[in-house]
């Protein structure tokens, strides 16, 4: 996939991007050394015009490559152009401003452009590598399948626990109820596991809320409980509970990794598009202000 995206048509857009960059450098260095290079020379205006046109075109490309109905070019081609030209717009904009930065609206536009390009670079990395990892994590099933299995396991755990002793039942049900998966942006991004379990009779401590990361405490409890079984059939029941807890750990682990990868694939876009809109706004202000106080 990424071979196709970045090397589309023998790296046509990489070559175009490098060509633009070289031309921009030539224009930049053609500025007479009589004044510090700046965006106010004809070269500065030219580079600014090129960068503005590129930004508008790239933003339009962002819309265009999501329009699957259009027959103008291929999505792959547009994406390749978006990536390569998007990478070159940042240095061209820096040349336009001759690397002069300050606390002003002009630098604000550049900072937003930098944020857009950086989020785009991350997005490209995410799109090229993470979906494959997500497929490997999920296997041949979708997330819905894994959630369905989790539900089935949970239902069976509760069903079996009804016949167990009170402490086992309480621990199994609390482990199911207090399972943590996903959550806020950071929890999804890092895949935090804040699962808990309430042990009503923890050794010498009474009722206590304990960490249950990776369902480890539930598994440990069930494994330790099996040798203490006294009634007929209790061992088989506990063994099935243990098998289900083990499988549940595997399912939750898969889901958690999936959530983490999913967040990492999608978060950049949550930022990339608003940052682009902010950039377009700052760019408009930048251009307007230059001519307001000419």
Partner 1 sequence: MSAVQILIRRIERDQKGNEALFEKTIDSGTLTMGHRFDQTLQLLDPEIAPCHAVLTLRRGGGFDLRTVGAARVQLADKTVARARLTAGQSIAMGRQTLTVVAPPPGFAAAIEVLALTPDEAFGPATHFVLELTQTGLRSRPLAWLLLLIPLLFLALPLAGVWQPALATWLRAQPWLPADSVWSSGPLSGAHSSPDIGSNCQACHLKLFEPAPDRGCGHCHEAINAHFDRRLVDSPLLDAMACARCHKEHNEPGNLLRHDSALCIDCHRELGAVAKSKGAAKLSAPVSGLALGSHPQFPFTLWRFDATRWTWSLSRLPSEAPPEPREGSNLRFSHALHLDPKKVQVPGTKTLLGCADCHRLGRDPEHFEPISMEGQCRRCHSLAFDEAEPEQQLPHADVPAAVRAIEEHFIRQFLLPGATDGSSQRNRRRPGQAVLADPCRESPLTCARERSRLEAFNQFSRSGCVTCHQVTEQPEQPLPTRWRVKPVRLVADWYPAARFNHVAHLAAGATAAERDKACSSCHAAKLSKVSADILIPGLTRCLDCHGDRASQAKVKLDCTGCHAFHQRSGTPLKPQSRLADPAAQKLSGVRQLAAAVFRDAGGDVGSQNSGSKQPHSKVSPAYEETRL
Counting every residue, how long is the chain?
294
Asked if 91 is part of the footprint of partner 1 (rule: CB under 8 A), the reply reads no
Binding mask 104-133 for partner 1 (x = CB under 8 A): xxx-xx--x---------------------
Six token digits for residue 45: 């205006």
Kindly tell me which of 14 and 172 has the beta carbon lying closer to partner 1. 172
Residue 268 CA to residue 254 CA, distance in Å, equals 22
Residue list 134-153, contact with partner 1 (CB under 8 A):
140-145, 147-153
Decide if 92 contacts 21 (C-beta within 8 A). yes
Half-sphere exposure of 120 (CA within 13 A, CB side): 26
- Candidates 61-69, 82-90, 103-111, 224-232: pick the segment binding partner 1 (CB under 8 A): 103-111
Task: Tell me how far, at minimum, the Cβ of 288 lies from partner 1, in Å.
Answer: 6
Decide if 82 contacts 62 (C-beta within 8 A). yes
- Candidates 76-84, 196-204, 206-214, 280-288: pick the segment binding partner 1 (CB under 8 A): 280-288
Residue 243 CA to residue 234 CA, distance in Å, equals 14
Closest by Cα among 8, 17, 18 to 80: 8
Binding site for partner 1 (CB under 8 A): 32, 34-36, 38-40, 98, 100, 102-106, 108-109, 112, 140-145, 147-155, 181-185, 188, 247, 255, 259, 262-263, 266-267, 269-271, 273-275, 277-278, 280-282, 284-285, 288-294
């Amino acid at each position: 996939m990424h071979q196709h995206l970045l090397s589309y048509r023998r790296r046509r857009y990489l070559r175009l991007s490098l060509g633009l960059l070289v031309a921009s450098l030539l224009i930049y260095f053609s500025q007479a050394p009589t004044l510090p290079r700046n965006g106010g020379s004809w070269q500065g205006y030219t580079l600014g015009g090129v960068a503005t046109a590129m930004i508008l075109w790239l933003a339009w490309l962002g819309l265009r490559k999501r329009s699957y109905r259009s027959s103008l070019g291929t999505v792959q081609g547009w994406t390749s152009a978006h990536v390569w030209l998007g990478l070159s717009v940042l240095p061209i904009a820096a040349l336009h401003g001759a690397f002069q930065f300050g606390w002003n609206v002009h630098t604000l536009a550049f900072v937003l452009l930098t944020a857009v390009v950086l989020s785009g670079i991350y997005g490209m990395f995410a799109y090229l590598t993470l979906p494959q990892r997500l497929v490997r994590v999920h296997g041949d099933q979708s997330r819905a399948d894994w959630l369905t299995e989790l539900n089935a396991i949970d239902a069976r755990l509760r069903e079996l626990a009804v016949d167990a002793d009170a402490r086992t039942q309480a621990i199994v049900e609390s482990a199911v109820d207090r399972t943590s998966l996903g959550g806020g942006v950071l929890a999804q991004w890092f895949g935090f596991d804040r699962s808990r379990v309430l042990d009503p009779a923890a050794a010498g401590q009474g009722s206590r809320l304990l960490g249950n990361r990776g369902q480890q405490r539930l598994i440990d409890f069930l494994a330790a409980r099996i040798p203490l079984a006294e009634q007929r059939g209790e061992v088989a029941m506990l063994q099935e509970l243990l098998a289900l807890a083990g499988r549940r750990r595997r399912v939750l682990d898969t889901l958690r990794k999936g959530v983490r990868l999913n967040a990492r694939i999608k978060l950049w876009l949550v930022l990339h598009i608003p940052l682009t809109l902010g950039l377009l706004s700052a760019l408009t202000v930048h251009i307007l202000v230059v001519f307001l106080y000419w």
